[in-house]
Amino acid sequence: MKRGFVKGLLASALCAVSTFAAAQDIKLWQVSSGQLELDKGWLTAMSGVGTKIKVPVAMYVIQHPRGLLLFDTGNNVAVSDGQCANYWGQGLCGAFNAMQTRDEVIDRQLAKLGFKPEDVTHVIYSHFHLDHAGNIKLFPKAKHVVQKEELRAAWWPEKFQRAAYVMKDYDTTRDYDFLQLNGDFDLFGDGSIVVLDTKGHTQGHQSLQVKLKNTGMLLLAADAIYTAENEAGVIPGITWNTNLSMQSIDRLKQIRDANRGQIWYSHDSKQYGEHNHDKPYD
């Protein structure tokens, strides 16, 4: 009994050391794939309908001892510099006008930080909508982390969801190395990078929990929470399942409060402007 007890304590201690070691070496950058100009009602149902706003398209670069990670890849490179209608089509660009320069595309965002696309080992997708998975083809050698139900929805979307999935973003990626998840997943087994099931916006939407030594816990909500208004209780304007969307918002808030962390939204101009984009969070 004593020997087993000691071995258990030792295992726990080693796990704690591993988690701490990983946490102290993690760096996170928040960058943007330009902006989207859209009707505010798409983000906040029954609030601000008819009001045009411009919002950031948040993406994340995460340097971990076991790899270089991305969380979302933004708008496709082909919509850059006023070419939105040529790639997405006039109708889609009329609803979601991509205002992205070539230098804001994820490959050049990586270059600004001293990385190359081939350095990326893992790409984690909140979901496969046009402003989140647009540049998957820039990373053919990476492991692509996505909920299995999201892949199903992307390849065979329901009729009312089709517009937001741009098939040509990922039409040649079937043979990519997909890590298909069914719920929460601790990516490296050390508690530092945990994928959270936050379905509702889409069938397979997921958020990302990141533990940093100095910053603490960040919950990268993606489209589970567009803006602070959604966190305060305003129903998201675009959602596959409203009830599940509201449950996911509550879940993220509960995790944040239990861990004294922060929730970072996907399309909140005010919050994005308050964040540092010149140096990493650690």
**Residue 49 belongs to what domain range?**
27-274
d(CA 3, CA 14) in angstroms, rounded, equals 16
d(CA 212, CA 26) in angstroms, rounded, equals 6
Residues 277, 30 contacting (CB under 8 angstroms): yes
Does residue 36 belong to any structural domain of this protein? yes
* Percent of all residues in the chain with a pLDDT value above 70, rounded to a whole number: 91
Does residue 279 belong to any structural domain of this protein? no
Residues 124, 195 contacting (CB under 8 angstroms): yes
pLDDT digits (tens, 9 = 90+) for 131-156: 999 999 999 999 999 999 999 999 99
Picking from 145, 210, 212, the residue whose alpha carbon sits closest to that of residue 180 is 145
Does residue 196 belong to any structural domain of this protein? yes
Helix (H) or strand (E) holding 18: helix 2-25
Confidence of residue 269 (pLDDT cuts 50, 70, 90): very high
Give me the residue label for tokens 């998840």. 181
Residues in the chain: 282
pLDDT of 23 higher than 60? no
Does residue 102 belong to any structural domain of this protein? yes
Q: Which residues are CB-neighbours of 272 under 8 A, at least 6 positions away?
A: 30, 32, 56, 58, 265
Does residue 5 belong to any structural domain of this protein? no
Which residues on neighbouring strands pair with residue 177, listed in sequence order? Answer: 143
pLDDT of 11 higher than 60? no
Does residue 20 belong to any structural domain of this protein? no
What angle is formed at CA 191 by the lines to CA 254 and CA 105, rounded to 5 degrees?
85
DSSP one-letter code for 281 = B
pLDDT score recorded for residue 5: 47
Does residue 11 belong to any structural domain of this protein? no
Specify whether the backbone of 30 is left (phi greater than 0), alpha (psi in -120 to 50) or beta: beta
Q: Which residues are CB-neighbours of 16 under 8 A, at least 6 positions away?
A: none
3-state helix, strand, coil in the chain (%, to 5): 35, 25, 35
Does residue 213 belong to any structural domain of this protein? yes
Give the chain's domain count.
1
Q: Which domain CATH number covers 152? A: 3.60.15.10
pLDDT score recorded for residue 18: 47
pLDDT digits (tens, 9 = 90+) for 204-251: 999 999 999 999 999 999 999 999 999 999 999 999 999 999 999 999
pTM score: 0.91
Residue type, 257: D
When mean pLDDT is compared across 11-20, 40-49, 70-79, 90-99, the lowest value belongs to 11-20
Query: Could you give the 3-state DSSP secondary structure of residue 92?
Result: helix
